[in-house]
Structure 1
Amino acid sequence: MVNYSNITSNIAGLVLLVFLCVQGSFAQSQMEIRVNLAGYPKEMPKTGLILSKVELGNPKLSLKTESGLLVKELTGSKTEASWEPFPFSYSIDFSEVKDLGAYYLELENAELKSPIFNIGAYPAWQEDVVSFIRTQRCGFNPLTEKECHQMDGLSFFGLFPDSTKVDARGGWHDAGDQLKYLITSSNTAARLLMTFQMNPEKFMDHVDDRGLEGSNGLPDILDEAKWGLEWILKLHPGPNELFHQVADDRDHRGFKLPHEDNADYGWGANNFRPVYFATGKPQGLSEYKSEATGIGNLAGRSAATLALGYQVFISFEGYQSFAQECLKAAMELYKMGKEKEGFQQGNSFSAPYRYEENTWADDMEWAAAELFKITKEKFLLEDARRYASIIKEWSWMERDSANHYEMYPYVNMGHYALWQVGKEEDKKLMIEYFEHNLDRIQERSKSNPYGVGHLFIWCSNNLAAAVSTQAMLYEEMTGSKKYRPLLIDHMNWLLGLNPWGTSMITGLPENADFPVDVHMPFWKLLNISVKGSLVDGPLWSSIHDQMLGIEISEEDEYDHLQPDHVKYMDDWKDYSTNEPTLDGSAELLMILTFLNNE
């Protein structure tokens, strides 16, 4: 039987394409081609997307080499879902092409080409991520080559009277501001250590321990991890002591270089800053109070990180005593977490925004499993199982929305650590938990043409990276590649296959569209763009429109591409979508290193 509807559709599409070709620039505004600007590893799925304001029928495309040689003729397939301002979307699949090289897609009869992309392993961009994290150092900053925040700080809510001097120098600034959080820094240090454990041969030694050029016999990723571990040790000055935050949102006084901090907490500008003690109770020095039920999240995650520090540094000549110090502190912090199970959130002062973490059993599970690897103490394995049975599959992945950092970290590394050390029944259960999460994301991904299922809440790019990371870990745990499409779709999203056609990582890929006008003092004050940082990412408009103090400094370059319900701005005044973050960048490390392996 002849399908006349298909013939009619194809003729209409051809006529339309000819019309658009004649119109020239009109064609560019009516249609867009989206690809992963970095490209596609050889063995990964390879897809692109045509966005169109008019129906195209069955659009024909050519996959060509960078020099213009035809490789394969393709046909776009209309997707079930689409986003405004392009009511029609057509997926393109060229997964079977595996020859290494540079390519582009060309839409026939429309003079429309995609950006050039590669097929093959990703470059070693994990090194760029480590370099960005290095520029976030507090104390001696290797980018400015200046000392900052040498008066950190004065204790509050601690075992001693308020305003008692303590040493909380060091660590990392959290984002474009200069606060320091154990909540995010502990996870950042852990990701550095775990990524090195997985692929130790992938990391170079180009800087010394101060972050300045010159090798010191330690891979740069471990120099950075050690910087984070040393700060955690400072925040744990005694067996029953743990501080969790330095400074608060009084920091937000416009852009300033770290060594020229104009924030005044009551002792003059660029002077003492508050250091908050983890009490397990609600805190706040002004109107806004955090919530708290214990300290298990902070103590557990810090203990897991220090245990990882022991595992890594014990094998390096000259670092054995440091490794032992990490292990001793890890055991003390784990004990503190068991005594005060629950969560402690971040603190704010003059605005309602804070880190709202309210999970903790995953962190204690993580700590117990990492410590069991070292000590082989049976009670730790039993503890890990108990904590796993509390958290189970609970994750932001199970939700249709979540508060800011509510279920953090975004991948349950406790389940992965227990899978590493547990018996067969433990392994099976941890796999089921991960699978349950990924199935939920996969189901949600069907509702949009980009194949992504993460939430567009604050720091949404962290969530996209977390989906890819969890899919990667699932593959290691099972040998199954069933979630590879999900893995690559979320990396595609971060690397240009999104409504705006831009990468979400500063400076990467080179010669592509990436965030430039970021909410970062080094950019605004020194005109320095730091490569390798993940920006916060797109927000649901319902959230973006309610954010306090957001203005746009110039005309939105993506205005003609903005969906109605999701917004992203490459503008330094939009701190909610365009601010580089410490832990968000660390979220990229494992997955970028994995994609560099192919």
Structure 2
Amino acid sequence: MRPSIFIRGLTVWLVLFLSKAVLAETVTEIRVNLGGYPANMPKKALVLSKVELNGEQAILRNSAGLEIRKLSLNQLESAWEPFQYYYQMDFSIVEEAGEYYVELEKSKVKSEPFFIGSYPAWQEDVVSFIRTQRCGFNPLTQEFCHQDDGLSFFGLWSDSTKIDATGGWHDAGDQLKYLITSSNTAARLLMTFQMKPEKFKDQVDAKGLPGGNELPDILDEAKWGLDWILKLHPGPNELYHQVADDRDHRGFKLPHEDNADYGWGANSFRPVYFATGKPQGLAEYKSEATGIANLAGRSAATLALGYQVFISFEGYHDFAHQCMKAAVELYEMGKKQEGFQQGNSFSAPYRYEENTWADDMEWAAAELFKVSKEKQYLDDARHYADLIQAWSWMERDSASHYEMYPYVNMGHYALWQIGKEEDKKKMVDYYEQNLEKILIRAEQNPYGVGHLFIWCSNNLAAAVATQAMLYEEMTGSKKYRKLMMDHMNWLLGLNPWSSSMLTGIPEHADHPVDVHMPFWRILNIPVKGSLVDGPLWSSIHENMLGIELSEPDEYAHLQPKHIKYMDDWMDYSTNEPTLDGSAELLMILTFLNNE
């Protein structure tokens, strides 16, 4: 390990730890979006107080301390403990770019500084984080790992038959690999590039090492994911969906030093699970399954997107056609086995519990129609859209882990892109119904957020912001801009803890440091650009297995009773960076960078 990396990581940790350690319990605090506010977006701040602020007034000041505008404090009806009074300040009218802060006139309480103006290119940092999740060759460690992936189970061949499932991405702080999440991650990379191709740089090569290769880095990463999906589909009737299981969880280890033993010795062969459409599992905790259309459909959509993007790059035409051929085959597999396949666990009750599939088949059919113009795909997309309609986690007051995944129905968006006016209206109506349900919940709390505080709640907050952004594209209406920004505000520090939920972002403010990630725990290297799991309802957090904090909670004086967030490496439930959660942010960050 290079000493400079260690020193830099240790310095970041010490500065942020000490800044948190000196926090004392306060009577009044101000919350702002630490990442700032795009100029033409809604802008708000909150005052949290344990006493009523009669006659108090707020002032928006620039970085030189000059008064820019007096702000009215509007008391809100709802309040989250430990603060009994919440006041909202709106300064949407201010659009001049620059650094600002809010100050209370009487008490002189100040907010953290923030910027007004276009967001930096944080989407590039997210892509960089995803790159550090690579399996096979990891550009952060510059080591090869998991070269024996793997041995097939439940498949067309005898159990323990050797297949090639090398490559892909590690899922989070662990080293499992899932088609469930990787397919969505690759798709978001491709869709984000399609949205704003000029926003992405070429600074690394295909291995993820410094040096351009005439392909934007976001596409290097997308191809890494596409290559793995192709490996999991080695024949017309074959699809594998998971490499390894929770026997992986043997403490923190670097990928090339994996100590997990699946029966063939440590750091050796790992199981590769075939998508059968039936429940799977080797021990007590078996998955549920009714088919494979979620995996086959989403993978087909992703591969069709791969064709759309890579056919435009010289030297990648053969690869593009390979993607398209596999997309057609996987789509047909999905039609033959409609239903869902979930993730597998071995020794714990935690798995990805996806239980929808029509949205994925709609997505695949729409993307295939874009390329082929075959009417049957358009008819199929309409059929699957009619099956799923507005059904989403957004319609629910709670949900299981990864139930109704992915968290935005991208099939509706893809059908809107290709459909006739009647199709477009239906897709808009479905999105609007979802967002209205979110809005109802959002109006019941002072932060204006309506996502669920289940495991990986930050993914849901990002999904709301993304769906609101897509709704605006689909309609031209700014009806949900405030809802979009309220969820981005939440993720970027306008929350009870005054902490961003992205590692290293924004650079000048509080963000997750002591994360559940081996690069941090072993190498003391902070990796910028990852979204952590996020706050949990206390009723869930209290019942998570094996959580015992490594040090006193620095946010103890700020914790609401009903939800919890911990910046502690031992809390895998709220503070673990995730592959697909980070990818969930790509489109909205790119949009806000553009604005």
Q: TM-score range by the shorter chain?
A: over 0.9
Partner-residue secondary structure (3-state), 1:191: helix
Change (3 A) 1:423 1:70: same
Equivalent residue for 1:367? 364
Equivalent residue for 2:67? 70
Distance in 2, matches of 1:230 and 1:28, equals: 51
1:338 corresponds to which letter in structure 2? K
Distance in 2, matches of 1:537 and 1:57, equals: 34
Equivalent residue for 1:210? 207
Q: Is 1:316–2:316 an aligned residue pair?
A: no
Distance in 2, matches of 1:84 and 1:213, equals: 48
Partner residue of 2:525 out of 523, 528, 531: 528
Larger radius of gyration: 1
Q: Is 1:282–2:279 an aligned residue pair?
A: yes
Equivalent residue for 2:511? 514
Q: Is 1:94–2:101 an aligned residue pair?
A: no
Partner residue of 1:337 out of 334, 340, 361: 334
Partner residue of 1:475 out of 456, 472, 476: 472
2:243 corresponds to which letter in structure 1? V
2:78·2:445 contact (CA, 8 Å) conserved in 1?
A: yes
TM norm structure 1 = 0.95
The CA RMSD over aligned residues, in Å, is 0.9
1:28·1:112 contact (CA, 8 Å) conserved in 2?
A: no
Distance in 1, matches of 2:54 and 2:324, equals: 63
Distance in 1, matches of 2:333 and 2:560, equals: 47
Q: Is 1:349–2:346 an aligned residue pair?
A: yes
Equivalent residue for 1:230? 227
2:365·2:377 contact (CA, 8 Å) conserved in 1?
A: yes
Q: How many angstroms does 1:142 deviate by?
A: 0.1
Equivalent residue for 1:248? 245
Partner-residue secondary structure (3-state), 1:560: coil
Cα-to-partner distance string for 1:361-388 (whole Å, 9 max, x where unaligned): 0000000000000000100000000000
Distance in 2, matches of 1:28 and 1:105, equals: 20
2:398 corresponds to which letter in structure 1? S
Partner-residue secondary structure (3-state), 1:561: coil
Equivalences for residues 94-243 of structure 1 within 5 A: 94-243=91-240
Q: How many angstroms does 1:27 deviate by?
A: 9.4
Equivalent residue for 2:12? none
Q: Is 1:495–2:529 an aligned residue pair?
A: no
Q: How many angstroms does 1:111 deviate by?
A: 2.1
Distance in 1, matches of 2:29 and 2:334, equals: 52
Equivalent residue for 1:466? 463
1:544·1:576 contact (CA, 8 Å) conserved in 2?
A: yes
2:553·2:566 contact (CA, 8 Å) conserved in 1?
A: yes
Q: What residue ranges of structure 2 are gaps of 5+ in the alignment? A: 1-21
Partner-residue secondary structure (3-state), 2:557: helix
- The runs of at least 4 consecutive aligned structure 1 residues that moved more than 6 Å come to 25-28
Distance in 1, matches of 2:215 and 2:285, equals: 43
Q: How many angstroms does 1:75 deviate by?
A: 1.5
| Higher deviation after alignment, 67-76 or 170-179 | 67-76
Partner-residue secondary structure (3-state), 1:112: coil
Partner residue of 1:558 out of 555, 559, 569: 555
Q: How many angstroms does 1:73 deviate by?
A: 0.6
Partner-residue secondary structure (3-state), 2:584: helix
Distance in 2, matches of 1:289 and 1:321, equals: 40
1:250 corresponds to which letter in structure 2? R
Distance in 2, matches of 1:487 and 1:358, equals: 26
Q: How many angstroms does 1:153 deviate by?
A: 0.4
Q: How many angstroms does 1:511 deviate by?
A: 1.3
Equivalent residue for 1:10? none
Equivalences for residues 584-595 of structure 1 within 5 A: 584-595=581-592
Partner-residue secondary structure (3-state), 1:113: coil
1:241 corresponds to which letter in structure 2? E
1:58·1:75 contact (CA, 8 Å) conserved in 2?
A: no
Equivalent residue for 2:387? 390
Cα-to-partner distance string for 1:167-199 (whole Å, 9 max, x where unaligned): 000000000000000000000000000000000
1:355·1:405 contact (CA, 8 Å) conserved in 2?
A: yes
Change (3 A) 1:27 1:144: closer
1:536 corresponds to which letter in structure 2? D
Partner residue of 1:437 out of 434, 437, 440: 434
Distance in 1, matches of 2:478 and 2:106, equals: 37
1:53·1:85 contact (CA, 8 Å) conserved in 2?
A: yes
1:137·1:171 contact (CA, 8 Å) conserved in 2?
A: yes
Distance in 1, matches of 2:25 and 2:93, equals: 28
Distance in 2, matches of 1:376 and 1:341, equals: 23
Partner-residue secondary structure (3-state), 1:275: strand
Distance in 1, matches of 2:112 and 2:51, equals: 22
Distance in 2, matches of 1:57 and 1:222, equals: 55
Q: Is 1:380–2:393 an aligned residue pair?
A: no
2:25·2:557 contact (CA, 8 Å) conserved in 1?
A: no
1:157 corresponds to which letter in structure 2? F
TM norm structure 2 = 0.96
Cα-to-partner distance string for 1:201-244 (whole Å, 9 max, x where unaligned): 00000000000000000000000000000000000000000000
Partner-residue secondary structure (3-state), 1:321: helix
Partner-residue secondary structure (3-state), 1:437: helix
Equivalent residue for 1:18? none
Q: Is 1:568–2:565 an aligned residue pair?
A: yes
Q: Is 1:577–2:586 an aligned residue pair?
A: no
Q: How many angstroms does 1:26 deviate by?
A: 11
Distance in 1, matches of 2:490 and 2:428, equals: 25
Q: Is 1:84–2:95 an aligned residue pair?
A: no
Q: How many angstroms does 1:58 deviate by?
A: 4.7
2:367 corresponds to which letter in structure 1? E
Q: How many residues align?
A: 574
Partner-residue secondary structure (3-state), 1:29: coil
Distance in 2, matches of 1:114 and 1:358, equals: 43
Equivalent residue for 1:296? 293
